[in-house]
Amino acid sequence: MIPQDAAPTSLKGKTCLVTGANGGIGSAAADHFAALGARVMTTDVSDSYMGEADADHRALDLMSDLGLAACQKWIAEECPDVLFNNAAVFDMGSILQADLEQYDRLFSLNVRAMYGVMQGVAQTLVKVGKAGSIINLASQAGHRGEALVAHYCASKAAVISYTQSAALALAEHKIRVNAISPGVIDTPMWEHVDGLFAKYENKAKGQKKREVGEAVPLGYMGKPYEIARVAVFLASDQSQYMTAQTLSVDGGNVLRM
């Protein structure tokens, strides 16, 4: 039986905060949220939002204490119903190469800032007595180690673990916490990733990107909108009975691990 209150996916009346909003996945999510009726708040290190949504944008460096504190203050003032916790940075290096400076940089944004923003949204929602949805961006890299991606894999594994812990802690407040693990997604960041693989694996430029796309069971690299569509589902009431989950959106790549 279809519930009488069932309705098409809609975000009308919701306020959605997107971090890392000028990346391919972040801007796609913000645009999708806005298209479905949400008021959208965006933040990135750059001064203006480069997507299509009519967004309330703030330039914030979440790797700095001042930037993170400013974001938490903004959250307390605006009380977003939905968080798409997307901001992240990527780098490479094996245990023999990846130094503590790289560790500090990746964990500062991928874990510390992710946690700080998530906590800020959770505390605000609990204070005002509202339900909500927190969506953390993990990665297929968070499900297993990779020889050349030590710190990044560990940081995304932490995202998955924090998602599970937060979901259990916030369930009594009707705040759902889930994560998305993208596979290989064709974003501007992949130019940087491809260059690093070219350096560490002695490959021609563009070779790694082509190889990883061909290796996906569905046969191609994903597009940012394919992640955004899942973010919309998790943000909406369509997923109201889901929490503590990490959804692999990777064209079946999880089975290639």
pLDDT tens for the chain, 257 residues: list them: 566 565 578 999 999 999 999 999 999 999 999 999 999 999 999 988 988 999 999 999 999 999 999 999 999 999 999 999 999 999 999 999 999 999 999 999 999 999 999 999 999 999 999 999 999 999 999 999 999 999 999 999 999 999 999 999 999 999 999 999 999 999 988 888 888 888 888 889 999 999 999 999 999 999 999 999 999 999 999 999 999 999 999 999 988 76
Q: State the residue range of the domain holding 207.
A: 187-221
If asked whether residues 144 and 167 sit together in one domain, one would say: yes
- The residue behind tokens 């560790």 is 103
Angle between helices 114-128 and 150-170 (to 10 degrees): 10
If asked whether residues 203 and 117 sit together in one domain, one would say: no
Predicted TM-score (pTM) above 0.85: yes
If asked whether residues 125 and 115 sit together in one domain, one would say: yes
Query: Which pLDDT value is given to residue 60?
Result: 98
Angle at 185 (CA atoms; ends 194, 159), nearest 5 degrees:
100
If asked whether residues 49 and 168 sit together in one domain, one would say: yes
If asked whether residues 94 and 197 sit together in one domain, one would say: no
Count of domains in the chain?
2
Query: Which pLDDT value is given to residue 2?
Result: 62
Residue 72 in any domain: the answer is yes
Residues taking part in catalysis: 152
Q: How far apart are CA 244 and CA 171, in angstroms?
A: 9
Q: Using CB atoms within 10 Å of the CB of residue 102, give its burial: 0 to 12 exposed, 13 to 18 middle, 19+ buried.
A: middle
Q: CB 75: neighbour CB atoms within 10 A?
A: 22
Which is nearest to 36 in space by CA: 14, 58, 4, 6?
14
Q: Tell me, what DSSP letter sits at residue 129?
A: T
